[in-house]
Structure 1
Amino acid sequence: MAKPNKKGPTKTVDIFCSQCKAPLFKYRKGGKGALLKCFIERISQDFTTIPCVCPNCSRPFAREAIIRGAPAYKMIGGKVTFK
């Protein structure tokens, strides 16, 4: 399987916790679909202190995984929103 493009898309989205609306990431997202996974190399700004846990409400929002040979966060459905 091919790895995701290192450079990635130029469009960034802000990812927030759906419960407390705390900012989690600024992420270079490709496409216009739902946010299912975040490749760690595409995160441009990380506001979390513990990986995959909201810094404000301490609720887990993702799981660490290896997708197509690259480390990524698999989002748990309904735990995050993005703009």
Structure 2
Amino acid sequence: MAKPNKKGPTRTVDIYCSHCKTQLYTYRKGGKGALIKCFKERITKDFTVNPATCAECDTVFARDTLIRGTPAFKIIGKKVFVK
């Protein structure tokens, strides 16, 4: 399979924790669909201390994985929301 676009999309979204409403990432998202995965190379600002864990409430919101050979976070359902 093809790797994701290196340059990536230009539209940025803010990703927040559903439990405590703390901002987790600023992410360059492509497409109109729901947030299922976050490619690590598209994260522009990271507000977490530990990877895939909320800094405020210590909720694990994603799993570390490889998607199409590229490091990414696979988002666990209903743990985050996007604005």
TM-score (structure 2 length as normaliser): 0.99
CA distance in 2, matches of 1:23, 1:6: 25
Q: How do 1:5-20 and structure 2 match up within 5 A?
A: 5-20=5-20
What residue is the counterpart of 1:22 in the other structure?
22
SS in 1 for 2:73: strand
Q: Which ranges in structure 2 are unaligned for 5 or more consecutive residues?
A: none
What's the counterpart of residue 74 of structure 2? 74
Gaps of 5+ in 1: none
Following TM superposition, by how much is the alpha carbon of 1:66 offset from its aligned partner in structure 2, in angstroms?
0.1
CA-atom RMSD, angstroms? 0.3
Distance 1:55 1:6 in 2: 28
Superposition TM-score, scaled by structure 1 size: 0.99
Deviations 1:17-70 (A, max 9, x none): 001000000000000100000000000000001000000000000000000010
Q: How much has 1:4 moved relative to structure 2?
A: 0.3
Alignment of structure 1 residues 42-57 onto 2, 5 Å: 42-57=42-57
Moved over 2 A (4+): none
Query: Could you tell me the percent identity over the aligned residues?
Result: 65
For 1:43 and 1:26, locate their aligned partners in 2 and report how far apart those are by CA, in whole Å.
Answer: 6
Structure 2 distance, partners of 1:61, 1:24, is 10
